[in-house]
Amino acid sequence: MDTNGKLFKKFLEREDRIANQFNTENATKQHNKGKLTARERIELLFDKDTFEEIDAFVTTAAATSNFGTITESFGDGVIVGHGKVSGRLVFSYAQDFTVMGGSLGVVHAQKISKIQQMALKMGAPIIGLIDSGGARIQEGIASLAGYATIFKNNIDSSGVIPQISVIMGPAAGGAVYSPALTDFVFMTNKTSYMFVTGPNVVKEVLNEDVTNDELGGAEVHSKKSGVAHMMYEDEEHTIQGVRKMLTYFPSNNVENPPIILNPEEKDDYIEKLRDVVPDDPNKPYDVKDVIDLIADTNSFYEISEKYAQNIVVGFARLKGNTIGIVANQPKMLAGTIDINSSIKAARFIRFCDAFNIPLLTLEDVPGFLPGIDQEHMGIIRNGAKMLYAYTEATVPKITVILRKSYGGAYIVMNSKNIGGDFNFAWPTAEIAVMGPDGAVAVLYRRELLASEDPVALKKELVKTYRDEIANPYIADEKGYIDEVIDPAVTRKKLIIAFEALQNKQVSSPAKKHGNIPL
């Protein structure tokens, strides 16, 4: 081809035009807000020089608008394409706020939809980098239809390819529901916010003043609503977080996660495991210390760290293999299960099950959180979510009972009879229908009332209960757990047990789908 010829010049002019769309003026607008441009985000997400853009020259729909103006642009405010993340194929789209506020018009929607369908066909994860004012007002119903198609693609892909949404500016109106349908939502502190209706509408309807950040900032969604799973302080770290999370995942639901061995030898952990749970059964400790001692060095990647902290969930590796960990956290609400922790764990368990990630449960739970609030807000329906998710999951499932394992919570935390493959207990385990205080109060109410020294009697009864009932040996003798183990050998035991389970096959009864209590 004549590269000096007219045809080639035209090609170069078009390339120039794309490059100029990210001119200094537009970039500065983003940078001044502490944000990166869509293209800079893409560069950070993908391995160097691996991103291949498609549909760069697609132009904004020649829609006529009787309300507002439509700025014509190449690309229509969204970059779409594919590249490599840690050497593996990943698809992505990045919205450009400098083109009509990243709003979603018909062409913008078609581009996202096209890349979603490609990701599904190729069995590769998709990452949405979102910076959008929602449905493009000028394009009316066509924008809403565009969102509807994107949501449908999200749902078709759910459980087939990992989907991650990264909020890097506004996600307003329709822009929130695609993230809500994906597996994980990342937010950047102070520069991102998500809401269905913004502060103006809140003011109009309720006459309440609220800022973007107060209404739907990263802190709010990470701590209060649970909408965001991950929060980072700036966009670079947010994108690094996405890259890290992807290392734990298979590309799709028929593959296994990659094996990533840590060259750092794990040392010094064996004796520490014996001391990590305090002798006093009422003394709290941090279950993340147990996780760190068991998992490969520095491999734990926690999800929803700030939300429902009475349960800890996250990915880790055992001898290079990804596992999902669900652990009661005795230092928050004594590790009880409440509505939010059940929902948090259930969603995590279902993700792991969909993507062939074996589950490790670390149990220290005195029961469900009692209270009027919990009962009235539906702990029955919501607590059932975790029970359902565990029971339904067919990936390898192992439980280690560290300490308390009482009542309904014993059943829920992957007990043998709901399908635990290996159930181990430490000698510190207390497995029973209820805790000693409750049991004594129910069974010895009359005796305590009649006693001259009820405090001493209660103390004695509690001791007897602990010795006779609330220990791991009865469950061990009856086969409700498989083995009482020395805490020091836990890591070794788990490596062997997960290896033994790697070809686990389960056939469930045929059905369209179950009916998880939502």
Number of residues that bind ligand HXC (CB under 6 A): 17
Q: Quick one: which of 108, 111, 136, 347 contacts ligand HXC (CB under 6 A)?
A: 136
Residues in region 204-243 near ligand HXC by CB under 6 A: none
Q: Quick one: which of 90, 135, 308, 494 contacts ligand HXC (CB under 6 A)?
A: 135
* Residues with Cβ within 8 Å of residue 292, at least 6 apart in sequence: 300
DSSP letters along 332-377, please? SGGG-B-HHHHHHHHHHHHHHHHTT--EEEEEEE--BPPSHHHHHH
Chain centroid offset of residue 292 CA: 19
φ and ψ at 186, to 5 degrees?
A: -105, 145
Q: In angstroms, what is the minimal distance from the CB of 143 to ligand HXC? A: 7
Mark the segment that binds ligand HXC (CB under 6 A) among 171-179, 214-222, 255-263, 317-325.
171-179
Mark the segment that binds ligand HXC (CB under 6 A) among 80-88, 132-140, 256-264, 295-303.
132-140
Q: Quick one: which of 78, 100, 425, 431 contacts ligand HXC (CB under 6 A)?
A: 100
Indicate left, alpha or beta for 127 from its phi (over 0: left) and psi (-120 to 50: alpha).
beta
174 binding ligand HXC? (CB under 6 A):
yes
Chain centroid offset of residue 217 CA: 18
35 binding ligand HXC? (CB under 6 A):
no
Residues in region 137-166 near ligand HXC by CB under 6 A: 137-138, 144, 147
Written in H, E and C, the secondary structure of 122-177 is: HCCCEEEEEEECCECHHHCHHHHHHHHHHHHHHHHHCCCCCEEEEEEEEEEHHHHH
Q: Quick one: which of 103, 361, 405, 471 contacts ligand HXC (CB under 6 A)?
A: 103
Determine how β-strand 163-172 pairs with β-strand 184-188.
parallel
| Of the candidates 429, 435, 412, 432, the residue with the CA atom closest to the CA atom of residue 487 | 429
Q: Which is nearer to ligand HXC, 69 or 507 (CB)?
A: 69
Q: Which is nearer to ligand HXC, 139 or 364 (CB)?
A: 139
Q: What size, in residues, is the chain?
A: 518
* Residues with Cβ within 8 Å of residue 443, at least 6 apart in sequence: none
- The question of whether 173 is a catalytic residue gets the answer yes
Q: In angstroms, what is the minimal distance from the CB of 199 to ligand HXC? A: 8
Mark the segment that binds ligand HXC (CB under 6 A) among 83-91, 97-105, 253-261, 494-502.
97-105
Burial of residue 452 (CB within 10 Å: 0-12, 13-18, 19+) is: exposed
Handedness of CA 251, 255, 257, 258 (dihedral sign): negative
Q: Which is nearer to ligand HXC, 78 or 100 (CB)?
A: 100
Q: In angstroms, what is the minimal distance from the CB of 101 to ligand HXC? A: 2
Looking at 77, 146, 173, 324, which residue is catalytic? 173
Q: Quick one: which of 81, 125, 170, 366 contacts ligand HXC (CB under 6 A)?
A: 170
User: Between vectors from CA 398 to CA 290 and to CA 493, what angle results, nearest 5°?
Assistant: 65
H-helix or E-strand spanning residue 239: helix 235-246
101 binding ligand HXC? (CB under 6 A):
yes
Chain centroid offset of residue 61 CA: 36
- The question of whether 241 is a catalytic residue gets the answer no
Mark the segment that binds ligand HXC (CB under 6 A) among 74-82, 131-139, 377-385, 402-410.
131-139
Q: Give CA–CA dist 63/76, Å, rounded.
A: 12
Helices 436-443 + 454-468 axis angle, to 10: 120
Q: Quick one: which of 198, 257, 358, 396 contacts ligand HXC (CB under 6 A)?
A: 198
Q: Which residues pair with 163 in a beta bridge?
A: 126
- The question of whether 408 is a catalytic residue gets the answer yes
Mark the segment that binds ligand HXC (CB under 6 A) among 41-49, 136-144, 334-342, 484-492.
136-144
- The question of whether 308 is a catalytic residue gets the answer no
Looking at 159, 408, 419, 438, which residue is catalytic? 408
Q: Kindly list the catalytic residues.
A: 173-174, 408-409
In the complex, the residues that contact ligand HXC under the rule CB under 6 A are 100-101, 103, 133-138, 144, 147, 170, 172-174, 177, 198
